[in-house]
Structure 1
Amino acid sequence: MKGKLLLVDDEHLIRRGLSKMIEASHAGWTVIGEAENGVQALSLIEELEPDLVITDIRMPEMDGVELCQRISELGRSVDVMVLTAHKDFEFAQAALRYGAIDFLLKPISAQELAPPLEKAYRLYAERQEQAERSQLERNRLFEHHIQSWLLGLPMDEDTVARLQTTCANRKLLVFTVDSYAPPTKGYRREDARLLQFALLNMMKEWLAISDIAGSIANVKHDVFAVLTDKSDSLTSFELGLVASTQSLLGLTLRPEAYESMRSLYGHFASYEGSSKAELQIPDHAARSKSIQSEVMSFIVQGKTEQLREYLEVHLRQVIEMNVNDAKIEGLSTALAIAAASKRALEGEDAEEKGLGEWIEALQPIRLSSEVAEWLSKQIQAFMWQLNSWLAGKNVNLLDKAIAYMERNYEGACSIHDVAQHVYLSVSYFSNLFKKETGESYTNYLTKFRLEKAKILLSNTNMKISEIAESVGYEDPNYFTTVFRTWVHCSPSEFRKMG
């Protein structure tokens, strides 16, 4: 889950530098646009709907303070950070009064930019999670109303009117499960809740695949109602869901279509397919979505250890549940990390991994500890994939850093210089470099310089002082000391040996 960021500054070089630092910061932001002044920025805000705006204070046509004021008047969930020089501090304070969440002093380095970006991302993620929770609550209420209508339960007039208005010109698809104990599977009665949960997730997946807006109500334990906008994709949704349910879960779905809900009040009150001992399950969509959101937040911020700890908490919770609840919690978590893998790592989704295989693996389990063992394997596979993905990104950064060092070793070429070139903090770059190469940056640079010096000593008549300067040592005596420490002889002795 990456946040969208808009850059506003009248200097192209500043925008370009900020853009590179932001994209390399791992703070969870992606730059979606740039503007030269407030007027352009307002137009792009309408078009691109950014979550964060970073704006300069002094700009032509409309400055940063007025831009902050205009953004506050839009009434949108857009955070603003202000770029300012010391002399513009009073203007920055004015921007804060209009709701800016932070100000950044120019010039700003990658290390200085990272903390406010992370702070802004936390605010954005919290807002997104709250919005998702609110939407899920609205969906649950709407689906409850659909269920009540189809079962003929008492409803007040206002609710009925709102429901009929919402459902006007929409189509109702009803799917009935023939049996949760098909002869081809060894399912038991207590497996029905797990199968219901899997079936609900498959319905949501197929709605997304078919690009159809729809609401799903679990009317009875074996009856599912899908209220959708009329679409050319409904047939492919219906056929795809029925086929995949059969192939993955071994369950047979019987579909029925209705053009309107208006005449269906109480239609399923005494439906023959239902039983007296119905097994209704709680809606785990919110739970799975919450887990996915947390996992995504850790990934985009590069917090792999915190992510591992977070998932281990779920393992401990699973062990403490009864076995049937543990299975649903385990499957919720597995689906969440599969979805996060697909979004962030371009991995496979749950169906490609084999939802049917997951159900078959969980179905015969009798102990919560065994569910935890199964979930632990899913988490380990996910963490391996994540670490491999991060390693690939790190290798690219490392290659870029080493190439810079090889071009600039004749000068100072400090670790600060190289870290800044790849837009990482010195501490992060230092740890990354040692992890990937097995040695510190200083040692790596020293060995590289000395290898260059050896070539010059063996193939040229340059003076020792000239060679020292050409490989980055201003003091020839210090160069000789370093050479003797690493090569175990002086530069002059090495030349004679060659």
Structure 2
Amino acid sequence: MRIIIADRDSTERVGIKWLINSYSMKFNEVCLVEDARQFINEFEKSEPDILILELEMFSTNSWEIILRKVENYQGVIIAITTEAIFERAWQAIQLQAVNLLVKPLLPEKLKESLEKSIKKLSNFKEKPIHLENKDENYRYYQSLMIETEVKFSNDYKGMMIIKPEYPDDLKELYKYINEYIFMETPVVLLFSDYIVCLFSVFEMDKLYIDSTRFISNSIKLLNGGVFISIDSINKVEDSLHACYMRCIQTLKMVFYKGYTQVMQASEFPSFEEFDPLLNSEEQRIWIKMLEGENLIPIKNWLYEKFTNFPNGYPEPELIRISLTSILAQIRRHMKSYRLEKNQALEEQYQNIFNIVLNSPVLFKVVQELLLFIDKILEQVKTQQKNTQNDFIELGLRFIDEHFSRTDLNLIVVADYVNKSPSYFSYVLSQRTSQTFQQYLTNVRINKAKHLLSTTSLSIQQISFSIGFSDPNYFSRVFKNQTGVSPSIWKNQMFI
């Protein structure tokens, strides 16, 4: 097998190659590329079995070229990114990637994705031949995939596509179908993710009964459920390809209906238009709900948005983008409390991001998202409680937020944390090795440095904005802290 690793960072490329070698995966060639042009050249030279693509490598212009290149690609794509945001999620969906991994890459996640990719390739390449006549078997596959001059419409009147919940069940399912007694023996064709059955005699009611009976019996054998799409070829101008495309489109309803279902393609509604991004009002609602630390309104909002579709179902990919837009709000909330520093929560965030992109059933995605949000809210509550108990941390935060007040002093801060000035001052000096006045002065001078280097404000304006009522006194304090006057410091910054 051949694999291309496309990443701008040489250490990432070499690291991924090293991990692949350490896993003893049987790749005949591991090709490393560092930019879009080099990737296109290698891809055109010989299509690889697996692609590992860093999404940030491609500009807007080169992205359109890449999409055209991989449009008919038969291999497997693993996308990687430095940003867990919905734009990257949408790009991964456009590529039909099996996974989107977020840097820094976790070795076990990469290994899991590679093993999944190899298994998917194996399932595709190991299609058993059902018919003795291999040429005829090929024509069946061809007639399903494209419109051909060879017409089987007169021979076959019904189609059933069976998709297992877990890919590992596919081979067992194929064996079971060939042994199963349908009302009529079908032609059975194996694909990488599902199985197609063709029936020469067809009655919708009977096929529906056959399908429900098959589901009931297969539950005992498989690890998960199956979703079955059925349709008829009942028009002279109809074809196997047209029927196949209707059934494939119907399989997308797994996302909304779940498994252990039978659905007629004729009942499949066309997908409705849907704006996947949160509008400004919805963003404000999410900020308010997260700050409110109450899971109930969040649960109600998600259920209303993602379990009730009175105007029809959108494309599943658009729902996934909408969910990543919500994840972006959650991410901002996490950062406001520095929860991204919590390794366990960060790993859970990366996991829920992958669930949103790859989990086949929407209801399960929503449930996992709610569980994650609940953990975030509980962690915020715990952190706030700890902060309240730590009056020094609370006082320092108050100073950092209110240093511009000219009346800010030890008494004001001690009163805010409900401690005596002497006790607060003593504990502060023990904790920071600074007096109250030293800490406040450092905060103000650091802010002054920032304003001097990034704005055109006058020294007088800066002194007022950081809590000094006398510009001359500010200049003396600044020189005492830095060794130079504010004007000299500013000039040095712009030399």
Normalising by structure 1, we get a TM-score of 0.29
Question: Which fold has the larger relative contact order, with Cα–Cα distance below 8 Å and residues 6 or more apart in sequence?
Answer: 1
